[in-house]
Structure 1
């Protein structure tokens, strides 16, 4: 769950950076990294993406390795992270719903694949 929260928060911060850039009071991982390390936006996003990759590795290790946590619970956490990756892209489909997100919802709910 901790890795899932890391992925969700950091992906959202990357997607929201441009929208929240003008608001001074909003805490954002990209803005904080740029300020603390006197770096560019691109360098901050690169470092944050590395943290996201590390969180994905933690999830993968937990799912593939021996664990006492039930597999159905792990699968739900994995699916939550997958949906976060889809929703919180660089264009941030969560804050500003674009055509891509509308198409995803349409494919999922209106035109599902019948098995």
Structure 2
């Protein structure tokens, strides 16, 4: 913010745009054939999803709130059958 002289909201908007672009890249790359086995890729993807869940908006790892509790409960306690 200091380096470019922009507001905090503009900085947050840029970071959110970068995150959305990176999720698109991850999803596109996941659809392409690769030499890495799919179970390995799924573990990396799931770790990325957890990091996104815990740190989106606020620190849900250190200060667990309603959003984090509800998200974990929906995945672990009430999973959607596949």
Q: Following the alignment from structure 2 to structure 1, what is the Cα–Cα distance between the partners of residues 33 and 79?
A: 33
Aligned pair 1:42/2:9, yes or no? yes
Among residues 46, 55, 58, which one is paired with 2:22 in the alignment? 55
Which residue pairs with 1:86 in the alignment? 53
TM-score (norm 1): 0.58
Relative to its length, the structure with more helix (as a share) is 1
Shift of 1:40: 0.6
Aligned pair count reads: 81
Q: Which has the higher contact order (CA 8 A, sep 6+)?
A: 1
Residues 98/39 of structure 1: CA separation in 2 closer, same or farther (3 Å cut): same
Q: Following the alignment from structure 2 to structure 1, what is the Cα–Cα distance between the partners of residues 27 and 74?
A: 27
Equivalent residues in 2 for 1:11-50 (5 A)? 34-50=1-17
Which residue pairs with 1:104 in the alignment? 71
| Structure 1 unaligned residues grouped into runs of 5+ | 1-33
Shift of 1:44: 0.3
- 1:27-63 per-position Cα deviation (integer Å, ceiling 9, x unaligned): xxxxxxx122110111101111122122212211221
TM-score (norm 2): 0.76
